[in-house]
Amino acid sequence: MILDTISNAHRYHCLGPRFVKAFEYLAQTDFHTLEKGKYEIDGTNLFAIVNEYDTVDPSGEQMEAHKKYIDIQYIVRGAEHIGHDFLQQQTPSKAYSETEDYMLFAEKPAFFTRLDQEHFSIFFPTDLHMPNLQIDRPGPVKKVVIKLAVQ
């Protein structure tokens, strides 16, 4: 997993051309006016999901992991906590869904990070994550999740 600010995105271009394209999309798109929804960047290889929500209490949430896609989660507006951990020998509480590309884990996160506006996180298939968590109380967030197909 990687946690950083968008001003440092150029440091991650070495991860490959899809990362370059994803960070260019984040830099060139006005997300403040973009509606919620799914936006293709490069077909099923690279796409964005724009979402707006109120953050939630972590007590009712579970960590998730993906196999087909890497997540870049970018905060456009607001702030949230995100729980995370390493995927090791945990047993899923919800088995992997091939069509939805996720599985859930009941363990509590080992780490929590605050993500503010213009912060991003990258979660690889070996990373567990619990996004959308409130900091002190529920608050509004606008976030973009870029999905990069695992090669």
pLDDT in tens, 7-33: 999 999 999 999 999 999 999 999 999
Ramachandran angles phi, psi of 138, nearest 5°: -55, 140
Neighbours of 73 (CB within 10 A): 22
Residues 79 and 141: their CA atoms lie apart, in Å, by 6
Ramachandran angles phi, psi of 144, nearest 5°: -115, 130
**At residue 42, does pLDDT exceed 90?**
yes
HSE-CB of 96 using CA atoms within 13 angstroms: 9
- Look at the chain and count its residues: 151
- For 119-149, what is each residue's pLDDT tens digit? 999 999 999 999 999 999 999 999 999 999 9
Residues 145 and 148: their CA atoms lie apart, in Å, by 10
- For 96-119, what is each residue's pLDDT tens digit? 999 999 999 999 999 999 999 999
Q: What is the mean pLDDT of residues 62-83?
A: 98
> Radius of gyration over alpha carbons of the chain, in Å?
15
- CATH among 3.30.1120.130, 2.60.120.370, 3.40.50.10860, 3.20.20.80 for 2-149: 2.60.120.370
- For 73-100, what is each residue's pLDDT tens digit? 999 999 999 999 999 999 999 999 999 9
What's the pTM value of the predicted model, to 2 decimals? 0.95
